[in-house]
A and B are shown apart, each in its own frame.
Chain A
């Protein structure tokens, strides 16, 4: 537990019991993102548990129109996560699905509690742990990809469409990382085109959107593209690797967890 992390508020006990909600595709394809999330939360003084029987929040089915088939996933989710002070997830999209759509017939009060205690990683850091500095170092030019569900759904950053004051929770955290230079993008919050099953059912548009997002980062000199959702980054990584670009993707948890 590092002294250099501070929290200004707590749940009433000394240690915060946090359940880690790891998206299924992160579990299978990007374990390092889960590890970084876990280590980061531990450094910040949380007691972190990974409930072992978790699978998927059900979003891929629901966004495809089959919300009525997700009862099994929802019940499983409730069984795994009901017992914790907080549920933290390194994905805005999966978090939003739980916030908006987690329902289990006969267990509404319990499930409502989960919906109120589930947080995307960066908002958990800024809003609950109230992190105001990080001993992290990442001496690179980094472009921040704002994933739509986190941004427009969970309101992690101000949305460019609104006439309202600017803020960015992931941007604030990246600003605490020593040596990191956040590059300004031409289009600050345009969708990358991943979109769940959209990425295969609308492959042509999906890839074109991804290419255009990448071009924006490249044009502005990013060495790394980061973000709060590995799904968007997986899509962008697929395009980057196909074209042999030196630009790499890195989940924001991996950057925030880079020690000095």
Chain B
């Protein structure tokens, strides 16, 4: 991947400053609720950036983020139950998710367009059943239930998990910038517009898609591991739940799909919504659904798209060229 560093210089300063400020917060005595909000924001941001990479930049509408996130979580469980330290579990989670992504990429990329979307929908559903039935470590649980506690977490403070989340979020932003300014990014843009003609201009479509798919899986796996380190337990229904997809969809759509800063605003709003709606736990999905529909119909380019004054959104381009 050749880097066009001239484009990057100067855009890094605000980011670095932000990271430093955020890193210092817990030590500076910021209230615990802030840290919690920010923790979730970092986790969602990392995942949303990756989802944006796939859907907004590679043209891959991936409905299976929960697969990578859940696998990250379960790898963490397996590693910690085997007595190994948790941070290995987190990294292994990313690796397992990435390997899984490579394996399913071969059948998945044969599927085009909507079939691909449905194929990715099947994956977490299947994994959910698998982990409902399979107990990779430990014995039968008393009282049923398929969940696990994460072991080896003694001595980890909220600050530690906070910093881990900040790290993966920062990495995701960094990755996005680097990828989008590289040859890989150009290839992805070409594929997003029309993957058949991209192939004929010499781009190895499969490999390019594979790179972004695997990178996304890796980061999501790690973010999942970080999340479950914080949460402390995992069970198949929520780990592979479609609500992960909903959250990421919300973040990218509200923020602006195919726009680099979109997920940042989107993740902020999602976290705010999360806490606003905590009181109305029953209604939160409903409200999210309504917001999703309204945003798609009224402001499809997302908030960042709106601010940028119609930053080139794929759909607008499609409307003009008439391609559906």
Q: Do A and B bind each other?
A: no
B-side residues, CB < 8 A to A, are none
